[in-house]
A and B are shown apart, each in its own frame.
Chain A
Amino acid sequence: MAPILELHKITKRFGGLVAVSGVEISLDKGRIASIIGPNGAGKTTIFNSITGVYKPEEGTVVFDGHPITGMRPDQITAMGMCRTFQNIRLFQNMSVMENVMVGAHTRTTQSTGIGAVLRTKAFREAEEAVRLKAKQLLRFVDLPLGLGDQLARNLPYGQQRRIEIARALAAEPKLILLDEPTAGMNPQETEAAIRLFRRLRDEMGITVLLIEHDMKVVMGISEWVSVIDYGQKIAEGTPAEVRKNQRVIEAYLGRHATVHEG
């Protein structure tokens, strides 16, 4: 199948620190894939370079056949890629519904404020459509009913993670990037999250790229794994191949005493 995302020799530096160095990743459409690696390996920096938060010093990112390097994050989102953040970044003082509605920004047509001020029919219809969509997405991520009017900050952590995914889904992405989406979850919540990631692909047809620390999640659902260490890709392959790879074992054992495996 054709790749939906290709990274060609991506390099990102922070002053003297080379956080990502010459990384090549190719992600096929319709896959669930993971990026793994020890702390500080450069995984989040790769996400930020893909989504336009950072502009990589070298290399190109190709999304769905179009080069997107140097484009602004909102333009990239409009093209059909959306993400969540490692440390949840919901709009804390907005309601759950409003959060998801902001996610739909690039998919709604009220271009100016004029329609809003005149409360035109087109405006009201667009507004109603966004509401409906937000409700459906909140149901899709299994958020308990009736929480839509709560402020995001008032909800427990696990639910905030789900809302963040719903918000990203509102942008109708072809590709969703999830940065450590199960971090801090208990085993049952992790199970539920894994089911949700599968449904993203199976029911919505979205390609999923995860950054994961939890080996159970990585091995459980990824079909392809890229391993990053010190900003470089040191291995890639199916989960079974990767876990046997000598360099991967060293990378993890070298800095950490234990390897968590499911």
Chain B
Amino acid sequence: MSEQPGKSSGSKSTKRDLSDEGLITRLLAGPLGPIFVIGYLAVVTFLLYREPRALLLRFLLFAGLLLIYYMPHKAWLKLLLAGVTVVAIIPAVGLKNPFLLEIGFQVATFATLALGLNIVVGFAGLLDLGYVAFFAVGAYLWAIFGSQQLWQLHSSPGTATVYNVFPLGAWWFWPFLIFGITAAAGAGMLLGTPVLRLRGDYLAIVTLGFGEVIRVLANNLDKPINLTNGPQGITPIQRPPLPDFILHGALPNWLSQVSGRTIGEGDMYAFFFYFLAVVWLVFTIAFAGRLENSRLGRSWTAIREDDVAAVAMGVPLRRTKLTAFAIGAAFSGAMGVIYAANRTFVSPETFSLTQSISVLVMVILGGLGSIPGVVLGAAIVTMLNIDVLQTLSLQLSSLRQGTGMIPLIGVPWAELPTQLDPARYQRLVFGLLLIIMMIFRPEGIIPSRRRKLELHEDDDPLAPPADSENVLITSTGGD
């Protein structure tokens, strides 16, 4: 067999890059690109300011971030534009319509979870179906210590007298961010240790069980001591204290004047949580990205590719898998603490199996192993979940109250059965989305470089050595 240099296959794959998302990239290329993007953002912002409740405009604003991602320009320019969008535009529009901040908060929350799961599933190749358990660990940690639950350990749910004082001051929120990270990482190790020897389907089933165990514990630990308050959940949970000048002074007054809407304490907290979640998300992105290109990241990929070879090259399997579980879990642990404080309420329902699957869908939809892809996947799924489908349902129900007729079939809107509410079809929509993706773009929307080459090799006639099979036969059959 002759050894031909594989250069040609390299140029093939770059060509595919260009024809693929290359279309957008080429449109954005050159000096006109940034001007176009800035103009786009300005127009969307302006329209959104006039019409703060328009679903399409909200969507276009987030799509602007995607445009920025696809700009073929220097990193600092893209970071600057993305920064302006996240730090200035979204909060500015959020003054008019606080729902935008809620979307931003939830997208950041779930993007962080998806990034953590991506370390376990995408980088290290360990399928984890109980990931949301780590989120629950963080959330319940702050829920138990940051509420009055500690006073009620010996009374059954709903019967205790309500006190005015909390066992721990609200400022404990900050140390509990660290405790949340630690506790979740510990839970990650706890899960990791017994499943180290398992692979594939078996691993998936055990992790699924672990997720359920955590949820069932949350559900049932109201006796013999009432730690979690059972299915009723824990409330109120303290939010971290904010200085008075942010909550009451000149700042909210000024913001009220600018926006023409009364900006109260709740709004200021919405801003606070939005920024906190975004900061944690940015931190997570940087953390995951840098780990990916390090010795540890390479070890994860090596284990995913071939664990026998990896261990033969000196990669310790146990420790490497455990760090994947622990680090993956740690991100969502801190997010759990933030989430509990933001909602001021947690209950077992939030941490169901479907939630775990939802996070997995974000990872797969966006692109297994691809950091920008996973963030995008989280944004799409979350917005579908809390915004698009809900808004459609709302609009339908307002139509139902009117006297209009459904076009084409001539039935009054009022007679449309409520079973047809889009919000009820969440799972169906995700299912369809996944099926469509698996057929047309199994590597995800923004695939990682590896995945892409892996799944599309038949497009590339030069990719595998044509005679590799023959070689295998001779190597085992000859003597």
Contacts and interface: CB of A to CB of B under 8 A. Distances in A.
A77 to B, nearest CB: 4
Interface string B280-304: 0000001100110111111101100
Nearest to A159: B3
Interface string B456-470: 010000111101101
Nearest to B479: A213
A159 B315 CA distance: 23
B169 interface: no
A131 to B, nearest CB: 11
Contact of A73 (B305, B312, B475): B312
Interface residues of B, number: 56
A158 B316 contact: no
Contacts, number: 171
A186 B1 CA distance: 6
Interface stretch (A103-111, A219-227, A236-244): A103-111
Contacts of A146: 5, 7
22 contacts: A39-B479, A89-B312, A92-B306, A93-B450, A101-B298, A102-B313, A102-B315, A115-B294, A116-B291, A117-B287, A117-B291, A127-B294, A144-B3, A147-B7, A150-B6, A153-B463, A155-B465, A157-B467, A168-B313, A171-B313, A183-B475, A186-B2
Interface string A134-155: 0000000000101101110111
Contacts of A126: 295
Contact of B475 (A130, A158, A180): A180
Contacts of B305: 91-94
A160 B295 CA distance: 22
Interface of A: 38-39, 51, 53, 72-74, 77-78, 82-83, 85-87, 89-94, 98, 101-103, 105-106, 108, 110, 113, 115-117, 119, 123, 126-127, 130, 144, 146-147, 149-151, 153-160, 167-168, 170-171, 180, 183-186, 189, 213, 252, 256, 260
Main DSSP-derived SS at the B contact region: helix
A159 B3 CA distance: 7
Nearest to A92: B305
A51 B474 contact: no
Contacts of A78: 314
B453 A38 contact: no
A110 B287 contact: no
Contacts of B453: 93, 151, 153-154
Q: Which 3 A-B pairs have the closest CB atoms?
A: A116-B294, A183-B475, A106-B314
B317 interface: yes
A53 B287 contact: no
A44 to B, nearest CB: 10
B24 interface: no
A91 B450 CA distance: 11
A208 to B, nearest CB: 17
A102 B302 contact: yes
A223 B3 CA distance: 29
A156 B313 contact: no
B454 interface: yes
Contacts of A147: 5-7
Interface in B1-52: 1-7, 9-10
